[in-house]
Structures are given as structure tokens and as C-alpha cells.
Amino acid sequence: MLTRKQLELLDFIRVRMDLDGVPPSFDEMKEALDLRSKSGIHRLITALEERGFIRRLAHRARAIEIVKLPEAMERPGFTPRLVETPPAPPPQPRTALPVTAVHALELPVMGRIAAGVPIEAISEVSHHIAVPGSMLSTHAQHYALEVRGDSMIEAGINDGDIVVIREQTTAENGDIVVALVEDSEATLKRFRRKGNLIALEAANPAYETRLLPDSMVKVQGRLVGLIRSY
């Protein structure tokens, strides 16, 4: 496969030899191809010779012999396809980081979780989502939930976000958890234990903290990641 300039030069040599019986000079080639120097012609001639299209005869001035032509140039009615040399990629900024592959896993999205007024308990897989492996613990089960409501907005959790949850039944004070209330309502809140009571705190002053007996609250998992689509 020839580049555009190589093909142009080969065609120019062929035409001149058909007309005059001798190949053009390097100056004529340079002008015909609109090159700034003869060194560019030298490179093109060398490339054509290495590919077997021409032969340079030793000890003879302007001695170039065409050995063969691309098939498309030999067949009447066809225009050869010009192959442009692909441009070099732009240099990367000095501060650019290398691009590396990211390991990801498919997690089930178990419906919606209320970041506001609690909704029904989570029970069915609605779809799956790819989650970066760096969010996940090696020896634990995980699932994802779609957030509905704005009670955790000051914790950076917006309506429509996907939260990644690690399955566990315990929590530390300050953890954001999926809490199952009275085996029927699921909600995403910050967990705090106060004696025999569990406080489920919102991250929005418009919502009050719920204080419930610990027997009414079951931790279903802890927030470990968040995915947002724009």
C-alpha cells in the first residue's frame, strides 16, 4: 500500500517517461509534488524502490526504471485510492496520567431506596450495573440501589443516584446504612446508637431524625460507593 505522495511521484515518473522517454529530474519531481527540498524526493524514491515499484540503475544520471505499477493504475477507468499517512498523535500534557484499564463487576440493582420517607422493603432485582472493583471489598457481598428523595443531599447523595451497598448486619456510629424498619420499610440514613434506641439521621434539615427501639431496626448494609449519571 502506497502513501499519497509515493503514489503521486510514481504516477508523475510514469507520465514523464511515456512522454519523453526519460524520467524527470529531482528538481522537476520536487516542483511537481510541491516539496520544499530534494531530501523528501530521496525518501520517496527509496520507499518506492524498497517496495519493488522502481529500480535505480547505477552509474547513470536520472536512471530510474519502473518495474511495476499498482494494479489500480494499470486498469483503465479506475482511480487509485490514495492512502494518507496518519497524523502523529498530539503530545500529551506533561501532567497527564497514563490510561489504565479499570476492573469492574456487575451488581444487581435491588430497586429503589428512600432517602426521605421510607418505602417498602427491597426484594427484587430491577437490573444490573457495572461498578468499579475498587469500590468493593474482596470477601463481601454487594448490591446497588437507586436513590429516591433528597434527605441525604448534604451527604452528597442526590435523587436518582445509584448507591453501592456492602451487605452487613452491623454498623458503626456515623455510617450511612440501609435500614429496614419494622420489617416493612427501607430507608437510607446515617446510623447512630443511643442506648437501646437507634437514631436514623437525615442529611437535610428539612427532615427530622427518627428515634426507634433497636428491635425495630435491622441494618441491611453499609454505603461504600456512589454512581451518578449526568
Q: What is the DSSP letter of 3?
A: B
Task: Give percent of the chain with pLDDT exceeding 90.
Answer: 29
Average pLDDT over residues 65-84: 61
What are the φ/ψ torsions at residue 67 (nearest 5 degrees)?
A: -90, -40
Instruction: For 135-193, write each residue's pLDDT tens digit.
Output: 888 788 888 888 988 999 999 999 999 999 999 999 999 999 999 998 888 899 999 99
- Nine-digit cell string for 22: 526519460
Domains and CATH numbers, the chain: 4-74 (1.10.10.10), 105-227 (2.10.109.10)
pLDDT reading at 211 higher than 80: yes
What are the φ/ψ torsions at residue 66 (nearest 5 degrees)?
A: -80, 120
Average pLDDT over residues 91-99: 72
Among positive and negative, which fits the CA dihedral 144, 149, 151, 152? positive
CA distance 192 to 202: 11
Instruction: For 189-198, write each residue's pLDDT tens digit.
Output: 999 999 999 9
**Residue showing cell 527509496:** 46
**DSSP three-state, residue 64:** strand
Burial class of residue 212 in the structure, from the number of CB atoms within 10 Å of its CB (0-12 exposed, 13-18 middle, 19+ buried) = middle
Q: What is the DSSP letter of 59?
A: T
Catalytic residue numbers, as ranges:
151, 189
* ∠ Cα 119 208 211 (to 5°): 80
Average pLDDT over residues 91-108: 72
